[in-house]
A and B are shown apart, each in its own frame.
Chain A
Amino acid sequence: MIRDIGIGIVGGGVAGWMAALALVRALPGIRVSLIETEGPDWSLGPFGPAEASLPDFPAWLGDHGVDEGALLRAARGSFSLGTAVSGWAAREADWFLPFGTIGAPLAGIAFHQLAARIRETGRALRLADFSLAAVAAAAGRFARPSPDPRSILSSYGYGLHLDRAGLAAALRAASGLEPAGEFNRAIVDGAVTAVELRDGSRVVADLWLDCSGPAALLASRLDQGWEDWSAWLPCDRVVETWIQMEGVPPPHAHAGAFEAGWQRTVPLVGGQGGALFHAAALLPDQPGAIPLAQGRRAAAWTGNVVALGAAAVLVEPLHGWNLALLANALARLIGLLPAAPGGPEPAEYSRLAAAEADSVRDFAILHYKTNGRTGEAYWDAARAMPVPEALRRKLDLHASRGRVPLEDGELLGADDWIAALDGQGVRPRRYDALADAMAEPRLLDHAERVRTLILDAVRAMPHHGATLRAEGLIA
């Protein structure tokens, strides 16, 4: 007997259940079924047992009826104000990518341009010192931001750190669906004609969402090809890690580089999830090493299959962008459903997905291309590599005068690029010519005022532990 399940989702991890929840809520009249696959949940990538989000995720949860407090409790959750990035700019140097603004413009001139002029006067300056999120993270403090746009407490957002299994379970519960069975194999004839379950039964669907992770059980069968990014992102192995830890987790994630790659750390209550990204050539035979083929599917939507999560794009999570990529993909998909046979929807979907994935790829490559670990072969080679055209233009324009041009559909904002470039120690040749119009005392006074406001606000902020306790997340 063949069952028609409407929209079929293959993969029961975070990606599959997030897709299920989004579809159930957006398209109540459409039948959605989820088919589980065996093995660990690598639906967003084999990046460790904990997920880190960007600041848009709390709002996504709210829009989809997931109670944030309950989720945090169920998934050992804690809050995040950004990522600490150490060992990249130089072996001993670190910087911070905050979830929030850095400084404030003066007379229409961007803060980083003002900062460049302040540096010109011989004063040292770190951009992170002018970001409330960065200063609070360094001080181990956290409180939710203020909705009042006049308050400096509105100048940042927060992400979540969540246990992967706990997150998947919460998304599943919110979707109200039960798995329709276990995946055995796909029957493909130009398109996916049916999926056979372990019990031997077959199901058909109008559209299949492949949330099965890097295996891409459906999408790889209709292959339009995989764009290989290994020339730019040299880590080709990853080891998932978990370290049991007591005490209050820091309110930020960590990306720490070493001779042969980098270690991701996502602190949870009771431990740290992580992943060790490395190159097999330099660090062979690591126990538990999982092969990693970074890249993206040439066309994320092909025929009746849409690849989502790591089935569509596999890129090392230097910052917590996996959930954001997936949430954006789902919103785009829902905005284009149902597709007409032969209609323009798959091409438009794939075009947008590719633009966003490539922008994230470039942001990741930036960390390698501008690294300051001289004398280490792996990193010297990364510094010397040619980079994709769009990134080249960003680097050139930034070098010229501290500007970063954004393309359509980029995930990260200009502020993120500026923070990363500056943190990596990349200094433009010139700054904005108009910054010269500013009298030096006015400039210094402005910077001082911003700094004072931030320090006062952080001093008044509770410690992360106190907030976690107040919300019942730690004892």
Chain B
Amino acid sequence: MLAARILVVGGGTAGWMTAAALAHKLAGTPARIMLVESAEIGTVGVGEATIPHIRHFNATLGIDEADFLAATRGTYKLGIEFVDWGRKGDSYIHPFAEFGAPIGGVPFHQQWCAARGEAGPFEAYSLPIQAARRGRFRRPDGDPYNYAYQFDAGLYAKFLRGYSEARGVVRREGKVIDVARDGESGFVRSVTLEGGEVLEADLFVDCSGFRGLLIEQALHAGYEEWTHWLPCDRAIALPCANVGPIAPLTRATAQDAGWTWRIPLQHRTGNGHVYASGFTSDEEALRTLLGAIAAPPMADPNRLRFVAGKRRRQWVGNVVAIGLSSGFLEPLESTSIHLIQLAIGRLLDLFPTRDWDPLDAAEFNRLMALEYERVRDFLILHYHCTERDDSEFWRHCRTMRLPDSLAYKLALFRERGVVVQYREGTFLEPSWLAVYLGQHVTPRRCDPRAGGAGAAAAMAAMRAGIAATAEAMPAHEAALGMPA
């Protein structure tokens, strides 16, 4: 028998995504889902950028794209533009697509590297990048690219609340003031709300955010810090009005002690600055952010503090942590919602039964740890592979000792242009290529099969075809049904 009484502690993006997915997947079972949240406790959800996996999440839940975009004031996203990362003045885009196509059985990037600058910029071989550079968007129709969304996460949570409540999820308003545990097993038995109501459950999903009300405060799962690799520990978020066309892109601009984001939504632009308090002050960081935004702020700055890392165990006993309670990786590659989604998927795959086989938790923890570590390595790559020497922060990042897993990957690419492949992991070869080549990590040697007269012609044809296709796409606003 499955663990039928489920209590999600905390609303926000993680809480409502979890409630919605469980309500959908567990329909027809004896499962009863309750979510408790407090209006007094704010949620972190800001303008949120995602990766294409969110489309699968919505599709599985039967959510119509147009309804979703209307409800969340969402926009399309073809990738992330990274500005000033490898060198000041640089701009490259990490798209959700392969670059080019193999020529003569040789991977495209090897052909491109072998051409040594004769074949134009690498991004000329990516249709979504070419579309994004032109401010255009079209949903792929059999084309080999993918897309994601940028949307207001608060509105998404609200949208999913409606979805969940329509499917029987019961919402309780209230602040949790006490957690009762079983003396023998240590399992959480119930939580008590401020008004005195006691909520019992079999399975507790901790979506309470950074503090980890159940997973940490009650069960002491422990936290593994990664600040020596990812020194950014604070953020300021600040929305402003849209200026000019709405880009189908998230932008991440490197600053002296961190980076600023720009996420265009239909009705406003989300901005923020992720920075390292060890290298700059809060005042200086705010000045940097104000200097980076395109229009006057529409709200007071929202300040956040965090520690890069992950909960040592994300599933302990009958408590599963999802969202910020499970760990924090800065949103440089828009992975926050994806990590929520992965955790939900794995919880469903390993959905507990009342005998609480400890292998379920062990496997969940193994898979999530692997995922966090692989995203972590990918983030570190952005900081480490830079030629910037203009601030203490960048000098630190350039010279820091890498995790062995990343040092190995980087050595293979530098030497021979080989991207180390793995089975589990969010970012595949094209993502690594975009960042390596976008940040001037050039392989010393290429595939000896690359080159030849045919290769140059094939590459020229690819370039031209991509440019023409991108040119023929409608403007992003038109694709959204907005006035241009």
Contact = CB atoms under 8 A, between A and B. Distances in A.
A403 B449 contact: no
A27 B447 CA distance: 9
B418 A348 contact: yes
A27 B450 CA distance: 9
Contact of B416 (A336, A405, A437): A336
Contacts of A400: 357, 359-360
B423 A407 contact: yes
Interface residues of B, number: 38
Interface stretch (A213-221, A288-296, A337-345, A448-456): A337-345
Q: Find the residue from A27, A337, A406, A437 having the highest chain B CB count within 10 A.
A: A437
B4 to A, nearest CB: 10
Interface stretch (B26-34, B42-50, B334-342, B457-465): B26-34
B412 interface: yes
Interface string B409-447: 001100110101111100000000000000000001101
B448 A345 contact: no
A338 B445 contact: yes
A120 interface: no
Interface size, A (range):
35 or more
Given A26-B105, A29-B448, A401 B350 contact: yes
Nearest to A339: B416
B349 A27 contact: no
B363 interface: yes
Contacts of A437: 25-29
Given A343-B416, A348-B420, A400-B357, A433 B448 contact: no
Contacts of B1: 436
A283 B431 CA distance: 56
B227 interface: no
A26 B351 contact: no
Given A336-B416, A430-B357, A436 B29 contact: yes
Main secondary structure of the interface of B (DSSP, over half): loop
Contacts of A187: none
A interface, by DSSP: helix, strand, loop or mixed? loop
A436 B359 CA distance: 20
Contacts of B360: 400-401
B400 interface: no
B348 interface: yes
Contacts of A430: 353, 355, 357
Interface string A152-193: 000000000000000000000000000000000000000000
Interface string B300-321: 0000000000000000000000
B423 A345 contact: no
Contact of A63 (B105, B349, B355, B415): B105
B2 interface: yes
Nearest to B358: A400
Contact of A405 (B348, B363, B420, B444): B363
Contacts of A439: 28
Contacts of B424: 408
Given A397-B359, A400-B360, A434-B26, A338 B448 contact: yes
Contacts of B353: 430, 433
Given A26-B449, A406-B423, A436-B2, A397 B348 contact: no
Interface string A407-424: 111100000000000000
Interface in B357-400: 357, 359-360, 363, 367
A282 interface: no
Contacts of A410: 423
Nearest to A29: B448
A340 B415 contact: yes
Interface in B12-31: 25-29
Contacts of A338: 445, 448
B348 A434 contact: yes
Interface string A52-91: 0000000000010000000000000000000000000000
Nearest to A405: B363
Given A29-B448, A30-B448, A403-B363, A345 B28 contact: no
Contacts of B355: 430
Contacts of A434: 2, 25-26, 29, 348, 351
Contact of B445 (A30, A340, A396): A340
A388 interface: no
A30 B447 CA distance: 12
A339 B348 CA distance: 45
A433 B351 contact: yes
Interface string A13-30: 000000000000011011
A335 interface: yes
A336 B443 CA distance: 12
A30 B412 CA distance: 23
Nearest to B357: A400
A166 B27 CA distance: 58
A196 interface: no
A335 B418 contact: yes
Contacts of B348: 434
Contacts of B26: 434, 437
Given A396-B359, A430-B357, A335 B447 contact: yes
A432 interface: yes
A345 B416 contact: yes
Interface in A28-52: 29-30
Nearest to A26: B449
B26 to A, nearest CB: 7
Contacts of A334: 449
A397 B355 CA distance: 15
A414 to B, nearest CB: 11
B422 A408 contact: yes
Contacts of B359: 396-397, 400-401
Contacts of B367: 405
Nearest to B106: A26
Contacts of A345: 412, 415-416
A439 to B, nearest CB: 7
Nearest to A436: B29
A347 to B, nearest CB: 9
B352 interface: yes
Nearest to B414: A344
Nearest to A407: B423
Contacts of B412: 344-345, 348
B450 to A, nearest CB: 11
Contacts of B447: 335
A397 B416 contact: no
B2 A27 contact: no
A283 B43 CA distance: 71
Contacts of A30: 448
Nearest to A396: B359
A434 B30 CA distance: 11
B55 to A, nearest CB: 16
A429 B356 CA distance: 12
A437 B23 CA distance: 12
Nearest to A410: B423
A429 B408 CA distance: 40
Contact of A336 (B2, B105, B107, B418): B418
A461 B46 CA distance: 59
B415 A433 contact: no
23 contacts: A27-B448, A63-B105, A335-B418, A335-B447, A338-B445, A339-B416, A340-B444, A343-B416, A344-B412, A345-B415, A401-B357, A401-B360, A405-B367, A409-B423, A429-B357, A430-B353, A430-B357, A432-B349, A433-B2, A434-B351, A436-B2, A436-B29, A437-B26
Given A434-B351, A438-B28, 10 more contacts: A26-B449, A337-B448, A344-B415, A401-B350, A401-B359, A409-B423, A410-B423, A433-B352, A433-B353, A436-B1
Interface of A: 26-27, 29-30, 63, 108, 334-340, 343-345, 348, 396-397, 400-401, 403, 405-410, 429-430, 432-434, 436-439
